Amino acid sequence: MRTNIFRSFTNLSKEFREDFDILWQLPEEQRLALIPRVFAISKAVTSTEIQELMEKTISEIGGDIPKLLRVLGLLRYISSEWNPLWDTPENFFQDIAELKLIPPEKAEEGKTFLLELLNGLQQDNVIRLNRMYAGSLLPNFVSITSIIDFRAVFDTVYIPTKDAVENYSPRCVSFVPVVIIKIARDELKPETFEFQCEPDTLKRVISQLQATLKELENAQSSLPRGAK
């Protein structure tokens, strides 16, 4: 295969081929309407944002929800695997033809749709190249989620070797807030990194990131013209 998108699918699974079949079953208007929404979803940072955009897409386009979800998954895969250094529209269409992923009766519609999709991918090439070079050495940030937990504070501690549980009478005297944060990365070992901190620590983290943002803005403004 010539393109990165199909390189790992030399022997395509039945489900992958079915996803393409479902894609061509959708009305052309629905297919074309999916393209900008797929790009918007691919730019989302958190799992909550992705879920909200997915639900909005399904609601606005309507139709068979299971089929739409499979097509969205297929288009998101193509978008995520497009490599601006190796992949070209010409090679993509040659792979599509060799793998017979467009039925003959849908040839014109399919070409129109895929050209629209590839044009969007090509317009995003600079952003993709920046991401590739920025993430060439270390795992990339994918998303961050957080929750607030309130831990109960007791006036005594149960010691199994010393106390009889029947006589243990703890009394809750207060609650302490704890922030639990999970960061997802694009590497599987480990894919997520979790930690907890107290409110004051969270404020220091936020202050440090705000300071880093100011440093970034200053550094960018100091770059020679044309290098930004």
Looking at 134, 162, 197, the residue that finishes a domain is 134
Shared domain check, 67 and 16: yes
Shared domain check, 155 and 123: no
User: Does residue 38 form part of some domain?
Assistant: yes
Which range marks the domain in which residue 153 is found?
141-222
Shared domain check, 92 and 195: no
Position 137 pLDDT exceeds 70:
no
Number of domains composing the chain: 2
Shared domain check, 53 and 14: yes
Shared domain check, 29 and 125: yes
pLDDT, greater one: 186 or 21: 21
User: Does residue 213 form part of some domain?
Assistant: yes
User: What is the model's pLDDT at position 185?
Assistant: 85
* Contact between residue 50 and residue 41 where contact means Cβ atoms under 8 Å apart: yes
User: What is the model's pLDDT at position 135?
Assistant: 62
Looking at 134, 164, 186, the residue that finishes a domain is 134
Shared domain check, 25 and 10: yes
End-to-end CA distance of the chain: give it in Å, rounded.
Answer: 35
User: Does residue 228 form part of some domain?
Assistant: no
Shared domain check, 73 and 149: no
User: Does residue 227 form part of some domain?
Assistant: no
Shared domain check, 111 and 21: yes
Shared domain check, 128 and 146: no
Shared domain check, 130 and 145: no
Shared domain check, 14 and 115: yes
Give this prediction's pTM: 0.61
Which one of 13-17, 107-111, 185-189 scores highest in mean pLDDT? Answer: 107-111
Model confidence band, residue 139 (pLDDT cutoffs 50, 70, 90): confident
Please write the tens of the pLDDT for every residue from 141-153. 878 899 999 999 9
Looking at 134, 157, 175, the residue that finishes a domain is 134
CA 197 to chain centre: 25
Shared domain check, 67 and 117: yes
